[in-house]
Structure 1
């Protein structure tokens, strides 16, 4: 199983902090933001990791992260030349995945709790996809699920009238079919290939499973959420904890 971190985009909601740097290099607690997604994958036993970022920031990202030796993993890098959505960026990982299952983490997702348990369940899942959900106070910012006790019925992207307060957060797990699915997706009104469209195709096929992420979580894509992410991680000294107990750092 391989890992993909999507760290492109323009970071417009964090302007002017992002005027001279990639948002994923901004500090969260005591470390650059991108360290947390890396730790998530490594904590789940995934050490072959592709990092997708923008042309203008690739040099800074590579200078910070290097080969991956510091994190006990191996990095590959890929440039997303145009910001055309999460699914567009993910399509760049097709050759890297080479038919294996992948775990995808958005570079601005921050949590103090490992996704290891969900990754282990996905390894046994056989086929399809798996996403993580979290109850949020502002669901209109996210892809929001309508769910029954066992299945996701639908995911709606940034709804004006959310059907629930459970958001799909930026940890996605896919089988090899995801790249073929992306190629069938029609760009949204903002000209992007939306990951919600990809996930909804898995829903239609009855192949999208989910877990509720048990730890503290936020994205760090706005000034307010970046501050919250820093406060959250400073409380735990930027450590990652496992589901089985906060004593197992």
Structure 2
């Protein structure tokens, strides 16, 4: 399976802080925002990632990640010349997807919770169809909303309804089979002039090939598209890290845990951040794993 991060757009809802820097490079506490969606793809076992962004911002992501080899993965880049909806990702990434299954995550979405790793792995092990995730919110009118029948089966998905029939929003994480490119090509732009991800999901729903998983209590989904949401996400990450002593979306730690890099590679990366809390966290991990290996 391959992975795509959509990190385009102008971030106008966050003006003026996004006038000089793209939204996905804004800090969420101690890391760039894009670390969090990349961490999700890596935890799902994905090692081939495409970052879709603008002409102005792509060089910034290339400077940050290069080709991904420091993390034991492969990162490539594609341009979104004009933002025309989330489903446009599959048109831009057609050659990258190359008839394989693909996971798409939005560059401003953060996921965290107990057994998240297991959920991501289970969701990745499919052959055909699509999987999307629902999360209960208090303001469903901002999202694509799931509608259920009396048996709690999903019967419809409505984009930004004025009067929603449920509080379950579709999150910014999606899994699709190789059909997704050909389906995306059949979509027509909406009244907003965009290729809507909701229309694509409804296509799978009509074919009875859409699986919907609802995040239970204990999971956190943070959409950092507003000033308040961005601040709340930073406070959430800060609280978890300071109370539990573990880092959220520490890419080097995930790369090591997933077997993408070895201990020597982890130690080299830790040295790059030696004078920071991030570097000291990685150094502690190196020391801990070194002791563990010495006992084997």
- TM-score in terms of structure 2 length: 0.78
CA contact (8 A) 1:12 1:18 kept: yes
Residues in 2 aligned to 1:201 and 1:115: alpha-carbon distance in whole angstroms: 27
Q: Does 1:235 align with 2:239?
A: yes
Residues in 1 aligned to 2:99 and 2:153: alpha-carbon distance in whole angstroms: 26
Residues in 2 aligned to 1:150 and 1:4: alpha-carbon distance in whole angstroms: 30
Deviating beyond 6 angstroms after TM superposition, the runs of 4 or more aligned structure 1 residues are none
Structure 1 residue 122 displacement after superposition: 3.2
- 1:116 aligned residue: 117
Larger Rg: 2
- 2:198 aligned residue: 196
**1:18-167 superposed matches below 5 A:** 18-113=18-113, 115-148=116-149, 149=151, 151-167=153-169
| CA 1:115–1:51: 2 relative to 1, 3 Å | farther
- Consecutive unaligned residues in structure 1, runs of 5 or more: 242-247
In structure 2, which of residues 210, 213, 220 is the aligned counterpart of residue 211 of structure 1?
A: 213
Structure 1 residue 4 displacement after superposition: 0.7
Secondary structure of the residue aligned to 1:186 is: coil
- 1:245 aligned residue: none
Aligned-residue Cα RMSD (Å) equals: 1.9
Residues in 1 aligned to 2:169 and 2:227: alpha-carbon distance in whole angstroms: 20
Residues in 1 aligned to 2:147 and 2:236: alpha-carbon distance in whole angstroms: 28
Worse overlay, 36-45 or 121-130 = 121-130
| CA 1:75–1:30: 2 relative to 1, 3 Å | same
- TM-score in terms of structure 1 length: 0.92
- Consecutive unaligned residues in structure 2, runs of 5 or more: 242-246, 251-256, 258-284, 286-296
Structure 1 residue 91 displacement after superposition: 1.7
Residues in 2 aligned to 1:205 and 1:54: alpha-carbon distance in whole angstroms: 34
| CA 1:217–1:152: 2 relative to 1, 3 Å | same
CA contact (8 A) 1:112 1:236 kept: no
Residues in 2 aligned to 1:180 and 1:73: alpha-carbon distance in whole angstroms: 27
Structure 1 residue 115 displacement after superposition: 4.6
CA contact (8 A) 2:3 2:49 kept: yes
Structure 1 residue 78 displacement after superposition: 0.5
